[in-house]
Chain A
Amino acid sequence: GENVEQHPSTLSVQEGDSAVIKCTYSDSASNYFPWYKQELGKRPQLIIDIRSNVGEKKDQRIAVTLNKTAKHFSLHITETQPEDSAVYFCAASMTTGRRALTFGSGTRLQVQP
């Protein structure tokens, strides 16, 4: 089955700095890569996703890049704000074959004011 590894496990940045979280996946058949944000005690919520037919996607201060050859993808948050503090999870799945999301282990991001 699919295996997703995520680094770092914790990340502390100063407000206004950028944050980068990296994930690798094992199954070359995976073609959908979402990122979820989970605040303490709350449900995971989708913040951005990318499909294997594109290499980069941006939404305001967040962007995701995908390198299919290397089987890794990254989340980039620019101009971080204290409200960005949360746990971020990457995931991978296969839209054909109906395979559910396989999640990484999470990154706790702390944005220091």
Chain B
Amino acid sequence: EAGVAQSPRYKIIEKRQSVAFWCNPISGHATLYWYQQILGQGPKLLIQFQNNGVVDDSQLPKDRFSAERLKGVDSTLKIQPAKLEDSAVYLCASSPSLAYTEAFFGQGTRLTVV
């Protein structure tokens, strides 16, 4: 079974620039998560989708972060404008449904804001 795909793997941008990350979940997985993992910390949930609807975005900094999953499959996460503290690994994860407890993670996108 193919895993969760993310791109790009690495991105370096200057502060105040914008950036977008892409995630393709495991085929058939209805639930999709974006996590932010700052160096030395555990992943922190940014947003959770069920199909193309948002289940939880309470920790998403909505003044600069946005995410969408228009057709209930692929998802994009955008940051505009980026700040130095946004430097982190952005992990996408998916699971078959909200009732399925295991989350399958992608390799992540490492963002460096300079």
Contact = CB atoms under 8 A, between A and B. Distances in A.
A6 B102 contact: no
Contacts of B33: 100-101
A112 interface: no
Interface residues on B, range: 20 to 34
Interface in B14-66: 33, 40-45, 48, 50, 55-56, 58
Contact of B98 (A42, A98, A104): A98
B interface SS class: loop
B56 A95 contact: no
B98 to A, nearest CB: 4
Contacts of A105: 40-42
Q: What 9 A-B pairs come out closest when comparing CB atoms?
A: A103-B42, A98-B98, A43-B105, A32-B101, A100-B48, A100-B45, A44-B105, A103-B43, A105-B42
Given A89-B42, A101-B33, A105-B42, 8 more contacts: A6-B42, A49-B102, A98-B99, A99-B56, A100-B55, A102-B45, A103-B42, A103-B43
Interface string A17-49: 000000000000000101010000011111001
Contacts, number: 55
Dominant secondary structure of chain A at its interface with chain B: strand
Contact of B44 (A93, A99, A103): A103
Interface string B68-102: 00000000000000000000000100000011011
A44 B45 contact: no
Contact of A43 (B44, B45, B99, B107): B107
